[in-house]
Structure 1
Amino acid sequence: MAVTTPVCDFGWKAVDFSLPATDGKTYTLDDIRGPKGTLIMFICNHCPYVKAVIDRIVRDAKELQAMGIGVAAINANDAEAYPEDSFENMKRVAEEHGFTFPYLHDESQEVARAYGAACTPDFFGFNANDELQYRGRLDSAGRAPAGPDTRRELVEAMRMIAETGKGPKEQTPSMGCSIKWKPA
Structure 2
Amino acid sequence: MAAIPPVCDFGWKAVDAELPGVDGKRHRIFDLAGPNGLLVAFICNHCPYVRAVIDRIVRDANDLNAHGIGFVAISSNDADAYPEDSFENMKRFAERHGFGFPYLYDEDQSVARAYDAACTPDFFGFNRDFELQYRGRLDASRREKGPADLRRDLYEAMAQVARTGEGPRDQVASIGCSIKWKDAA
Task: Give your verdict on TM over 0.5.
Answer: yes
Matches within 5 A, 1:139-158: 139-158=139-158
Ranges of 4+ aligned residues in structure 1 off by more than 3 Å: none
Match of 1:79 in 2: 79
Q: CA deviation at 1:29?
A: 2.1
Matched residue type, 2:109:
Q
Match of 2:6 in 1: 6
Match of 2:125 in 1: 125
Matched residue type, 2:71:
V
Judge conservation of contact 2:49–2:143 (CA < 8 Å) in 1: yes
Match of 2:111 in 1: 111
Match of 1:168 in 2: 168
1: CA distance, partners of 2:21 / 2:48: 22
Judge conservation of contact 2:53–2:141 (CA < 8 Å) in 1: no
1: CA distance, partners of 2:181 / 2:97: 25
Q: CA deviation at 1:148?
A: 4.2
Judge conservation of contact 1:141–1:151 (CA < 8 Å) in 2: no
2: CA distance, partners of 1:30 / 1:12: 15
Ranges in structure 1 where 5+ consecutive residues have no aligned partner:
none
TM-score w.r.t. the length of structure 1 is 0.98
TM-score w.r.t. the length of structure 2 is 0.97
Count of residues in correspondence between the two structures:
184
1: CA distance, partners of 2:141 / 2:22: 29
2: CA distance, partners of 1:122 / 1:86: 19
Q: Percent identity?
A: 67
Q: 1:84-117, CA deviations, whole angstroms, 9 ceiling, x for partnerless residues?
A: 0000000000000000000000000000000000
